[in-house]
Chain A
Amino acid sequence: MPTKIEKDSVTGTETTGHEWDGIKELNNPLPKWWLYVFYACVLFSAVWMVLYPSVPYLRSHFGGVLGYTQRDAVAKRLEEASGAQAQYRDQIAKLDIQAVKADADLNRFALAGGRVLFAENCAPCHQSGGTGAKGYPSLADDDWLWGGKLEDIQMTLQHGVRSTNDDDTRVSQMPRFLADGLLTMPQIQAVAQHVLSLSGLDKPNADGAKLFAEQCASCHGEQGKGMREVGAPNLTDKIWLYGGDKAVVVQSIAYSRGGVMPAWAGRLDDATIKMLALYVHALGGGE
């Protein structure tokens, strides 16, 4: 509060009473229109406070007489968005997956949507972009346990792998050769060496080869090239789901492996599963 109000002798304007180095500040008034705009803003905010959520209480807040919340607004927007997607999704649900791929518009929609759906549902195990991790197959490479055609992928998605709540699930069981007493540890070592030699990682082992023909070839094939009908991996390629060290291979033979994937048919609708299959197929390894 100014202590002394004085009039400036030159301009006749009052000073604010503030003085710096002998220079006094004139109290020049604001223009009226400016002030009215300011009042209008104050009025506007008062109305706003009544209409919209404004005053915070201790535990909640005043919600405004319009009952507007951003949560509702988001829900409404989402509903609108899924309404807009319906025309595509309905068609995708109706058509055969190959027909969806053949339709450029539907395919583009499926790939764009599949990307998001994959991140939501699949990426926790298979990693983003289908990179894969130890025990969770990469979906971007050209090595498929159960088949890499569109229909194969769709089937795997629907019924899962070793899924306990789906009767049509993809299932196979590799024996636990040591634990079930089928092979001794030295025999397993020999088989492991033979398996590694198939992809040039180790020297050939005649004993191992013989045991492999007896015990393993029925699923993995005589050449070790695997068999997709039973999800038996190709052992001759450079891809190792659990790792390509001898110790890991010994472990696999001795105690078996058996990855699990849920059946998605009950959780995701048909269109969603097709979109995911198309997306996975386009990651680079689709057949």
Chain B
Amino acid sequence: MSGETINLTLRVWRQDGPDSQGGFENYQLNGVSTHMSFLEMLDVLNEQLIESGQESVAFDHDCREGICGTCSLMINGQAHGPDKATTTCQLHMRRFNDGDTVTIEPWRATAFPVLKDLVVDRGAFDRIISAGGYVSVNTGNAPDGNAIPIAGAKQEVAMDAAACIGCGACVAACKNASAMLFVSAKVSQLAILPQGQLERSERVISMVSQMDDEGFGSCTNTSECEAACPAEVSVTNIARLNREFLRASLCGRE
């Protein structure tokens, strides 16, 4: 573990807009407290940039407590940085050493175009969800919470899939920029529960076809997504997605 403060060289991807070229800029940042989170460190960098009349670095963030999935960043070649099961906002600067050079890049996928600097457009995920990642409850009051019995073990499995925060690290880390882990989590959480049965077949077919239309890659079962996922969503869900897809293709309505 390093001392209380460290000095870093930051190699940050800067890009003015979706159509501009972009490139790396180096910044020296001294006296970074090791108790800071990675995003706080970027806040300090931005203050320094603003004070010296430069434009601040754009990056995505919201909750800063690992639940919203807004933060991203490829840190030294790893999605959400070096720790497992950790989002960028929860990554601490004590994971870095004095004198380190830290390379910071945006998620890279054709389906996630860079909007500015480190911010990418993850609208593709929203469109996949709109394609089928929901259950329709068309009428009446909210049903009673315990009206439909669900076995505890099933709840657990569904909950593990529902832990996905939609951050896109799986796409970012995958050599194929495949969105299978995300889509499988969203398909699984509903396929397992009784509430999801009604739209079960249509859901998986539409979500997979939307995923393909968005231009994500094809899964090679490399499991890099699972290792990068801050919510520890397992690739077993991908197998479930494959089963759901087969079942729907073979037995569902056309």
Partners in one complex: no
B: which residues have CB within 8 A of A? none
Residues of A participating in the B interface, judged by any CB pair closer than 8 Å? none
